[in-house]
A and B are shown apart, each in its own frame.
Chain A
Amino acid sequence: MSKKLNLTLHVWRQKGPKSSGGFVKYPAQGIDDHMSFLEMLDVVNEGLIEKGEEPIAFDHDCREGICGSCGVMINGMAHGPRKATTTCQLHMRVFSDGDEIWVEPWRAAAFPVVKDLVVDRGALDRIVQSGGYVSVRTGSAPDANNLAVPKTDADLAMDAAQCIGCGACVAACPNASASLFTSAKIGHLALLPQGAPEREDRVRRMVAQHDAELFGSCTQHGECEAACPKEISINFIARMNADFIKTAITATTDLKPREGTE
């Protein structure tokens, strides 16, 4: 059986990147506890539009916890109170009647606010651009079973590859570091033989790009791991650091733009 909740929301409203923002209070009445958090915001927004007021802007798409579009701070917690759960998969049954809920965008210098709860996470794409791939030409791949990969390696690679690029790790980190995100991609590719040839180069480029964006550095708080909806392990940061230190010692060349790049 479902329950009805009466809640008070305090939502961060900000017109654009250059405007200043602030919290606005909204009542959310008769919320069914089977609703998702975003469905609760939908209900509030429908009410706002009907009154001719601008609805609260927030990013979302799949609503299945996989696209990484959604993500807000809920009572100071990235994606809210439930472990391993994106904002879209958070259901209202975790709240109680009468609760006050504070809703804010990700806060990080590298993630400027676009509007209300929407931020610009382009920096994460640029980290991948710097080297988060295997440089294989379409059509030139050998038979997939030519290379056996130990199941344990493949499984661990998959653990890292599950990252949805939501940015919660950055929002949760006191230094606003994107180390968990960056290390997840590096770790995924480093664990597979297909990623081996570019392993050193990749870690150097991606770490350099991470630092060039406005992300802070990792000082091992562990808040990222706790907030990550995909439970990416902080061990991947340790692996990344180990690879990085190793390449700093063994690298024979300076980082140069790749051939074929402008």
Chain B
Amino acid sequence: MELRSNVPTGPIEKRWEKHRFDLKLVNPANRRKHTVIVVGTGLAGGAASATLGELGYNVHAFYYQDSPRRAHSIAAQGGINAAKNYQNDGDSIYRLFYDTVKGGDFRARESNVYRLAEVSANIIDQCTAQGVPFAREYSGLLDNRSFGGAQVSRTFYARGQTGQQLLLGAYQALERQVNAGTVTTHGRHEMLDLIVIDGVARGIVTRNLVTGEIRAWLADCVVLASGGYGNVFYLSTNAKGCNTTATWRAHRLGAAFANPCYTQIHPTCIPVAGDYQSKLTLMSESLRNDGRVWVPKNAADATKDPRTIPEADRDYYLERRYPAFGNLVPRDIASRAAKKSCDEGRGVGPAVDGERRGVYLDFADSIKRLGKSKIAERYGNLFEMYERIAGENPYETPMRIYPASHYTMGGLWVDYNLMTTIPGLFAAGEANFSDHGANRLGASALMQGLADGYFVLPSTLAGYLAGFKAPKVADDHPEVKAAVGRVTERLKKLTSAPKPSRTPDSFHKELGRLVWDECGMSRTADGLKKALARIPALREEFWNGVRVTGSGEEFNQTLEKAGRVADFLELGELMCIDALNREESAGGHFREEHQTEDGEARRNDEEFSYVAAWEHTGNLSQPKLNKEPLTFEYVKPSNRSYK
């Protein structure tokens, strides 16, 4: 497999402009004749569908929820970055670019990141014009805040519901196109396979989740904007339905999967309360702007009322270890530091499985300094949410938090045009690997999703479609029939395991625990090998013993779950293979063997300054590694230091 990144050359500030000029255009009268399939209506897919529809293409948008407005993007809380420099605090496109490359621990493509920073300002203009009610100052102009790891205030927000408001903006734009007849939406449809004809992506196979109908949809190109794979850990902050099925099925048909081991663990989530826990809830990291993180100095104080522990007996470990950034260190650093404190026995909160896994996030000082009403204005809904879940009032007693799986930087490999290694198959948003390297900065996923959807894909898809010459195909094409056959066969297997004994969730929990322990916040060769020995066996047990009630010809949520777990059981293995291969620590990937004396990550630029793009070989345990070397012309790789 050849990895052609198609990155333009020349001065970095001119690359996107030049590339856009070089891309071919599709004549407005011809656009209607091109059918585009978009899987996903989150920020990336929703924005892409709306914009492509508006340009006149014939768009079909698919999603598993009942309405496009419910995509997982809706849950994003904290904000969206943009290099507007409205605060006049020294921000610029170049600075956002620089921060993102550095924050990603020098494992992202410079050209892509620059483009992202460049279009970020247009996103804010677009969303504001759509009526997104961003927070404003008394002047009536837009407000900003500083967000995890940034020393400038470039984050735009809408209370604690930024993702919701941005998604509703995209959703409304999408529904406008539905009304105009350019976009057709297909809710409660799950993509279960890809159709590739003569090496080119030509459609998808879906299951109608209400009726169980399996059918093929054909198009001139396919966009996967199906989100990330963080639910591989079972417990994560992702919505329950988030899955890897769309991307994984594409991977099995030839799309390279890049950097699967780069997953982000978010430091501020509500800790696990018991073994029935079904998901974890994120507390926006904007909370770290005003909250101070600490644990008791002495393990013996772990069960005391935190308010009674005197200052002298508290360890504000982030402020102590990272005086320059304090509570605002990047996510990976904050997460590992929390784990370390709990590993030392200083964790707080109820013991689950004999361990206390929690640290305090304390607002007492800020409330004293700014007043309760200011804190309520900034975080009111988050405090309420915490109170509802944990049953404690954070205005009075410190919150308890612990890291959880949150975001996946890895994803389908794409070139500068967001095209995967299968021609005609594009990937956008969290589903691709492109812009965040080994670690994503806070408030940059929303930016990337909307950049891909509103601004990048509409240009690059046109470039592809303008040269599109493949013949028309119909449902009776052998490849179409084969794809439908594969899906039908697989569903039959899922509903008729030879010895049905365990629920899909019980397999998912076991896989999740294993991958969390061995390929989570910190990894070792021994642990990864242990996981790699277990996963194939677990997969076999799954196919032999998964219990799915009901049939495939009806609304069947157990069957939906089983299909998703089956794909996670394959992806989990690739994650561990990638993590074992990457003999360095970079961003969210921390290998215990590769750390400095004081426990910080140690990168190995000589050997690992590359994107690992894995190719499916037919043998899940032996994928082929392809390397895309990374070169840094503008931001010189340095060691991150947040001290």
Contacts and interface: CB of A to CB of B under 8 A. Distances in A.
Q: Is the A/B pair a real complex?
A: yes
Interface of A: 2, 15-16, 32, 34-36, 38-39, 42-43, 46, 48-50, 52-55, 57, 59-69, 82, 84-85, 89, 91, 93, 114-115, 118, 120-122, 124-125, 128-145, 147-151, 154-155, 157-158, 161-162, 164-165, 188-189, 192, 194-195, 258, 260-262
A151 B239 contact: no
B67 interface: yes
A91 B130 contact: no
B176 to A, nearest CB: 5
A133 B125 contact: no
A121 B549 contact: no
Given A46-B505, A150-B140, A258-B180, A124 B129 contact: no
A114 B142 contact: no
A69 B158 CA distance: 21
A260 B180 contact: yes
A69 B65 contact: yes
A139 B131 CA distance: 15
Contacts of B281: 63-64
Interface in B128-184: 128-131, 133-142, 158-159, 161, 164-165, 168, 171-173, 175-176, 178-181
Contact of B385 (A2, A60, A64, A262): A64
B86 interface: yes
B328 to A, nearest CB: 24
Given A61-B241, A165-B67, A134 B129 contact: yes
B554 interface: yes
A34 B274 contact: yes
A89 B555 contact: no
Contacts of B159: 158, 162
Interface stretch (B69-77, B428-436, B616-624): B69-77
B277 A16 contact: no
Nearest to B506: A46
B178 to A, nearest CB: 5
Contact of B279 (A15, A35, A63, A161): A63
Contacts of B273: 2, 32, 34
A59 to B, nearest CB: 7
Contacts of A15: 554
A138 B51 contact: yes
Given A32-B274, A122-B66, A137 B54 contact: yes
Nearest to A209: B179
A148 B137 CA distance: 10
Contact of B131 (A89, A122, A124, A188): A188
Given A50-B547, A141-B122, A144-B124, A194 B131 contact: yes
A89 B388 contact: yes
Given A68-B70, A138-B126, A261-B180, A36 B278 contact: yes
A120 B278 contact: no
Interface residues of B, number: 82
Contact of A49 (B68, B172, B178, B503): B503
B278 A138 contact: no
A67 B239 contact: yes
B172 A46 contact: no
Interface of B: 47, 50-51, 54, 65-70, 72, 74-75, 84, 86, 122, 124-131, 133-142, 158-159, 161, 164-165, 168, 171-173, 175-176, 178-181, 185, 187, 210, 239-241, 273-274, 276-279, 281-282, 350, 384-385, 388-389, 391, 454-455, 458, 503, 505-506, 547, 549-550, 554-555, 557-558
B20 to A, nearest CB: 12
Contacts of A138: 47, 50-51, 54, 126, 173, 454-455, 458
Contacts of B187: 122
B278 A16 contact: no
B175 A132 contact: yes
A141 B239 contact: no
Contacts of A49: 503, 547, 549, 558
A128 B171 contact: yes
Given A2-B273, A64-B385, A139-B122, 13 more contacts: A15-B554, A48-B549, A66-B161, A93-B391, A114-B555, A128-B172, A128-B175, A139-B455, A145-B142, A149-B140, A151-B140, A158-B158, A158-B159
Contacts of A122: 66-67, 187
B278 A144 contact: no
Nearest to B240: A61
A67 B172 contact: no
Contact of A53 (B68, B158, B384, B549): B549
Contact of B558 (A55, A125, A134, A137): A55
B129 A162 contact: no
B31 to A, nearest CB: 13
Given A68-B70, A132-B172, A46 B126 contact: no
Top 6 nearest A-B pairs (CB, nearest first) are A148-B140, A133-B172, A141-B129, A144-B128, A141-B125, A262-B181
Contacts of B350: 2
Contacts of B140: 148-151, 154
A67 B388 contact: no
B324 to A, nearest CB: 31
Nearest to A159: B133
A165 B133 contact: no
Contact of A157 (B133, B550, B558): B133
Contacts of B279: 63
Given A2-B274, A32-B274, A133-B176, A161 B69 contact: no
Nearest to A68: B70
A258 B65 CA distance: 29
A130 to B, nearest CB: 7
A131 B179 CA distance: 9
A149 B129 CA distance: 12
17 contacts: A2-B273, A32-B274, A32-B276, A36-B389, A39-B276, A89-B388, A91-B389, A121-B66, A125-B68, A128-B171, A135-B176, A136-B129, A147-B128, A151-B138, A154-B140, A158-B158, A188-B133
B389 to A, nearest CB: 7
A161 B133 contact: yes
Contacts of A93: 391
A32 B458 CA distance: 50
B70 A61 contact: yes
A165 B175 contact: no
A43 B51 CA distance: 43
Nearest to A41: B278
Contacts of B124: 144
A132 B427 CA distance: 29
Nearest to A192: B131
A225 B66 CA distance: 24
A141 B126 contact: yes
Nearest to B500: A52
B50 A129 contact: no
B136 A149 contact: yes
Contacts of B75: 62, 64, 66-67
A59 B187 CA distance: 13
B555 A16 contact: yes
A15 B127 CA distance: 42
Nearest to B176: A133
Contact of B142 (A120, A140, A144): A144
A182 to B, nearest CB: 14
Contacts of A125: 67-69, 175, 185
Nearest to B209: A114
Contact of B164 (A34, A155, A162): A162
Contacts of A89: 385, 388-389
A135 B557 CA distance: 37
B66 A59 contact: yes
B157 to A, nearest CB: 11
Nearest to B274: A32
Contacts of B72: 61-62, 67
Contact of A154 (B135, B175, B274): B135
A27 B454 CA distance: 50
B71 to A, nearest CB: 8
A64 to B, nearest CB: 6
